Amino acid sequence: MRSRAWIAWAFMTPVLLVMAVIVFYPLAVGVFQTFTNIDATNQGTRFKPPSWEFVGLQNYIDILTGEATKFYPVLAWTVIWTVVNVFFHYTIGLALALALNQRFRGRTTYRLILLLPWAVPAYITAISWLFIFNGEYGLLNNILGVFGLPSVAWLSTWPWYYIMPIIVNVWLGIPFMMVVLLGGLQSIPGDLYEAAQMDGASPTQSFWNITLPQLKSVSTTVILLGCIWTFNIFVVIFFITGGGPGGKTEILVTYTYNGFTLGQYAIAATYGVLIFSLLLVFSSVYRRLAREA
């Protein structure tokens, strides 16, 4: 036993060292900064000595009481954004996976085409969608024009400025769900369906009583991953709406990024810790519920 543990540690040491340098140390610095008022002007550089001070929990108090920041509106939209996106990712992904699990001609080609959104870098997808949404000359408005309808400034008109980035992110997120769920579907033993058929179960009954329960472990994992990724996806909001109009579509990560670009390091770091804590609590609660169910 003892010698085996030694080998395990020997293998882990390089990884731990790298992790310590590029993950744990910055994380610790980030957490430390949340208790200070450090910003671009007082951080201390080679030109100026540092002049920041400890402020205790003041940053957390300011943010959580809504003083001078918009934590709660941003959090509310981030949660809606995550739930709506993951719902469509999962349902559309599952529907496509079920379709692709059938035997039909050209199935491989369809799979490749449906994987395409995943293969294209997300920011290129986002910029392409921007051409479609353009308020004056976009494809969508041109199509409306053909039918004699007035054009819409999609990215500055309620509720479209909420809907448009969701459309883009749903488009981006489906392939991953589809591939993983397809893998899950293919691992369900075929004799379960045969037995169900013998018992006279309808396809709908098979779906609810065999497919979904058999997919449970895959589903819980991809939904958890999907939630964390969507909660933290930066490029879609950044490129499609830029957080606008007037900051209304800002999600927590883009809001945090703004703090960094404005040099408000302490506030931005506090946001980072809050996002991390939220996701940590969410993940553990979710896992526990999934295990109990």
Partner 1 sequence: MAGVAIVAAACSSGTASTAPSAGAPSAAAPSAGAPSAAAPSSGSAELAYKGEITLWNTQRDIENVELQKEVQAWQALHPGITVKTDLVPFDGADKKYTDAANAGSAPDIFRADIGWTPTFADAGMLLDLTSLFPADFQKAFLPAPMGTALYKGGMYGIPQVTDALGLLCNKSVLTTAGLTAAPTTWDELVSAGTKVTDLAAKKYGFYMRGDSYWAQPFIWGWGGTLFTVNDQGLVTNIGVNSPESVNGWTYLKEKILGTVTPATWDFKTDYDNMNAGFKAGTTMCILQGPWQVADILKGEAFTDPTNLVIAKVPDGVNGKTGSPVGGHNWVVNVDVGKDADKAAAVASFLTFMTAPEQQAILAKSLGLLPTNTAAYAIPDVASDPLINQWNAVLAAATNRSGVPGASAIYDSFTKNYQSFIIGDLTAQAALDATANTWETTVFKNQMAQ
Peptide bond into 245 cis (omega under 30): yes
For 101, the 3-state DSSP assignment is coil
Indicate whether 45 belongs to the interface with partner 1 (CB under 8 A): yes
Among 3, 102, 146, 158, binds partner 1 (CB under 8 A): 158
Comparison of 88 and 133: residue with beta carbon closer to partner 1:
133
Q: How far is the CB of 198 from partner 1 (least distance, A)?
A: 58
Task: List, in sequence order, the alpha helices (H) in the chain.
Answer: 2-19, 25-33, 58-64, 71-100, 107-119, 122-133, 139-146, 160-186, 190-198, 203-206, 212-231, 235-240, 252-261, 265-292
How far is Cα 186 from Cα 179, in angstroms, rounded to an integer? 11
Is 41 one of the binding residues for partner 1 (CB under 8 A)? yes
Q: Which stretch binds partner 1 (CB under 8 A): 86-94, 126-134, 212-220, 227-235?
A: 126-134
Give which of 27, 59, 18 is closest to 268, Cα–Cα.
59
In whole angstroms, the minimum distance from the beta carbon of 17 to partner 1 comes to 24
β-strand partners of 54: 36
At 41 the three-state DSSP class reads coil
Among 111, 118, 132, 134, binds partner 1 (CB under 8 A): 134
Runs of H (alpha helix) within 101-189: 107-119, 122-133, 139-146, 160-186
Q: Which stretch binds partner 1 (CB under 8 A): 112-120, 152-160, 205-213, 219-227?
A: 152-160
Q: How many residues lie near partner 1 (CB under 8 A)?
A: 34
49 binds partner 1 (CB under 8 A): no
Position 156 contacts partner 1 (CB under 8 A): yes
**C-alpha closest to that of 81 among 169, 210, 184:** 169
Question: Are the CB atoms for 100 and 178 separated by under 8 Å?
Answer: yes
Q: Which of 102, 108, 109, 261 binds partner 1 (CB under 8 A)?
A: 261
Residue span binding partner 1 (CB under 8 A) among the ranges 87-95, 185-193, 207-215, 245-253: 245-253
Q: Does 147 bind partner 1 (CB under 8 A)?
A: no
Q: Does 157 participate in binding partner 1 (rule CB under 8 A)?
A: yes
Among 246, 291, 292, 293, binds partner 1 (CB under 8 A): 246
Name residue 136's amino acid.
Answer: E
Which region among 5-13, 112-120, 234-242, 282-290 touches partner 1 (by CB under 8 A)?
A: 234-242
User: Binding to partner 1 by residue 180, rule CB under 8 A?
Assistant: no
119 in the Ramachandran plot: left (φ > 0), alpha (ψ -120 to 50) or beta?
alpha
133 binds partner 1 (CB under 8 A): yes
- Contact in structure between 265 and 38 (CB atoms under 8 Å): yes
Closest separation in Å from C-beta 97 to partner 1: 34
Residues that bind partner 1 (CB under 8 A): 40-41, 45-48, 68, 130, 133-137, 150-151, 153-158, 240-242, 244-248, 258, 261-264
